[in-house]
Amino acid sequence: MLDTWTLLIIDDCAADRKIYRRYLLKDPHQSYQILEADCAEEGLALCQKIRCDAILLDFCLPDMSGIELFDQMQQEIFKTSVPVIMLTGRGDEEVAVQVMKRGALDYLVKHNLTQDVLQLAVRNAIKQSCLQAQLSKTQERQRLIATTALRIRQSLNLEQILNTAVAEVQQLLKCDRVMVYQFAPDTDGKIVASSVESFRTVALCDRVAAGEEAGELLAGSRGKIPLLCTLPPAPLPNPQSPIPYIYELGLCNCVSLKEQFNTNANLVVPINLSNNGNPTPKLWGLLIAHQNSGERQWQTDDAEMLNEVSVQLAIAIQQAELLAQTQAALAKEKQLNVFKSQIIATVSHEYRTPLTSILAAASTLAKHNQQLDESKQQRFLGIIEQKARYMSKLVDNMLLVNQFELEKPKFKPIPLDLLQFFADLIEQERETTGDRHELIFQITGHTQGFWGDRGLLQQIFINLMSNAIKYSPDGGTVEFHLIGKESEVIFYIQDRGIGIPIKDQENLFQSFCRGSNVDTIPGTGLGLAIAKGCVELHGGDITLFSEVGQGTKVTVSLPKVFPIDQLSPSST
């Protein structure tokens, strides 16, 4: 079925108009609706009421010339170009030049006019006008897209990029709302930007396909406009024809966007990122245009513009993510460099004193062995052993903290008898602790059914207990309480030592942080950081309460059974 074009003939000669009508209605290639006017005034009135696809305009009219009427039409009526073919009874080239300069598409001499010539001239004029209009529209679209892309890519901040994108696309498409939806690996994803502030955050579907699955779904649409919808596959419509309502994602079991957002029409395109050379792109999210008010028939041009913007948005997102990764790597490198410097400074400082004591004791034994009685020899050997153990523990702590900084140590839970486990550790601690400190061990509840990592638990106990003893320089009691509950165990160590100032407590679980009142008491500031890392590997919590001059209480709570699905691959 042929499209019907509306043609206006403005000519004061009724016989000529009748000939033109007869010629055109016999055109086998085109169907016409023909309107007629016998003067300029009537022609102007018809142009204002009816959108014409082409105009046949006589050069000589009773109320004004054809050129004057053409100029008036251009100024007052035509917002877009309408092809005009000028007709005259004279073969005047000067007139032809004037008309063509003003924008007429053709010029025909009446006495030379034949049926074929008129039919071909009208068809060509309308087709040329359509091509020019489409070219202008494409150029304008490309200009708008380029402007939008420039504004989107002016920033490398992801949040700013997304907010700019939705605002610009809303202006570009003249729609009510534009949103960006980002997929998440383990969840349904979320709306990360909206051109309208007050919006409901909802899941787009019960289970959103993401990653490779969604990429495969989109791969089949390569070379087409990747509209995500549940409509049957079909060729793209004519650029001027509307697209039916598009309101479902079509990824998998999706519920209707129209129902969730109460919108009349939605247009959805994917945001695809390059996938490290993989031909299947990575589906990052969706760019969604909504129309809430009135009736919106989306055009193919709308879909193409939204798709082109999504490509530019994907580039901007990838650049922002790359920058963020680079900044994170630099920050990590800086953090590691600071950490290394702290290790070197701590080792050089903390090793110096015990090493000096070891060298002095060893030198005394070597030089005066014969003059020293057995008790003095044992005292010097004890100094060497004590300082060597301190240095060995310092090395172990450094290695463990280094593991926490670079990657988590392996977590290997096994069933443990906590009562026996801590009883043995308390006994070992009593053997090395002097008479000035009294260690108290108390148990409440049942601790059976506990799974934990023996080595990490030992680190928690040793670091917390050694801190309690070390920062109680005047001696006194150090209490260890073990409390068993239904699904967790709690233990706390309480001393009556120097305590910790409130201003220092916030950062004490960070590496190399110590209380400002430690004075000359040796230490590295690693004990609490190590304990916290070991507790978190168990999925537990650690808290601290302290008052200056009253002592410190550190409480640890651990689940009896660590969830299997939270174990890292290195733990199994």
The pLDDT of 344-351, averaged and rounded, is 66
* 100 residue type, one letter: M
Of 71-85, 247-261, 418-432, 473-487, least confident by mean pLDDT is 247-261
C-alpha 120/C-alpha 28 separation (Å) is: 11
Task: Indicate the pLDDT class of residue 509, thresholds 50, 70 and 90.
Answer: confident
- pLDDT, residue 215, reads 40
pLDDT value of position 141: 72
pLDDT at residue number 253 = 33
CB 144 within 8 A of CB 124: no
Q: Which of 39-48, 73-82, 386-395, 529-538 has the lowest mean pLDDT?
A: 73-82
Q: What is the pLDDT of residue 547?
A: 93
pLDDT at position 455 is 87
What mean pLDDT value characterizes the chain? 79
Q: Pick the residue with more confidence: 480 or 100?
A: 480
For the ranges 244-248, 441-445, 515-519, 540-544, which has the lowest average pLDDT? 244-248
Q: Residue 353 in 3-state DSSP?
A: helix
E strands within 506-550? 541-547
453 pLDDT higher than 70: yes
Least confident of 30-34, 54-58, 438-442, 507-511: 507-511
Please tell me which of 103-112, 273-282, 402-411 the model is most confident about, judged by mean pLDDT: 103-112
Provide the 3-class DSSP secondary structure of residue 109: strand
d(CA 470, CA 476): 11
| Whether pLDDT at 548 is above 80 | yes
Instruction: Indicate if the pLDDT at residue 48 is higher than 50.
Output: yes
CB neighbours of residue 277 within 10 Å: 5
pLDDT-based confidence at 491, cuts 50/70/90? very high
Q: What single letter denotes the amino acid at residue 571?
A: S
- pLDDT over threshold 50, residue 223: no
Asked if residue 339 has pLDDT above 70, the reply is no
Query: If residue 87 lies in a helix (H) or strand (E), which one and from where to where?
Result: strand 84-88
Residue 320: per-residue pLDDT: 86
**CA–CA dist 236, 227 (Å, integer):** 10
The amino acid sitting at 355 is: L
Q: Residue 234's pLDDT band (boundaries 50, 70, 90)?
A: very low
User: Measured in whole angstroms, how far is the alpha carbon of residue 84 from the centre of its chain?
Assistant: 53
- Which stretches does DSSP call E strand in 297-399? 298-299
Tens of pLDDT, residue by residue over 164-210, are 888 888 888 888 888 888 887 765 678 888 887 654 444 343 333 33
Convert the pLDDT of each residue in 69-85 to its tens digit: 888 887 766 555 788 99
Mean pLDDT of 394-416: 75
Counting beta carbons within 10 angstroms of the beta carbon of residue 328, is it exposed (0 to 12), middle (13 to 18) or buried (19 or more)? exposed
**How much is the pLDDT for 242?**
41
More confident residue, 217 or 23: 23
pLDDT of residue 333: 78
| Total H helices, total E strands in the chain | 14, 18
Lowest mean pLDDT among 36-45, 359-368, 474-483: 359-368
Find the farthest-apart pair of alpha carbons in the chain and give their distance in angstroms, rounded: 145
Specify the pLDDT at position 572: 45
The predicted structure's pLDDT at residue 407? 64
State the Cα–Cα distance between residues 75 and 77, nearest whole angstrom.
6
pLDDT at 212 (0 to 100) = 41
Return the pLDDT at 441: 94
Say which range, 306-315, 403-412, 446-455, has the weakest mean pLDDT. Answer: 403-412
CB 557: neighbour CB atoms within 10 A?
Answer: 18
User: With contact defined as beta carbons under 8 Å apart, do 30 and 38 qualify?
Assistant: no
Lowest-confidence range among 70-79, 288-297, 346-355? 346-355
Q: Which of 11-25, 127-141, 274-288, 395-409 has the highest mean predicted lDDT (pLDDT)?
A: 11-25
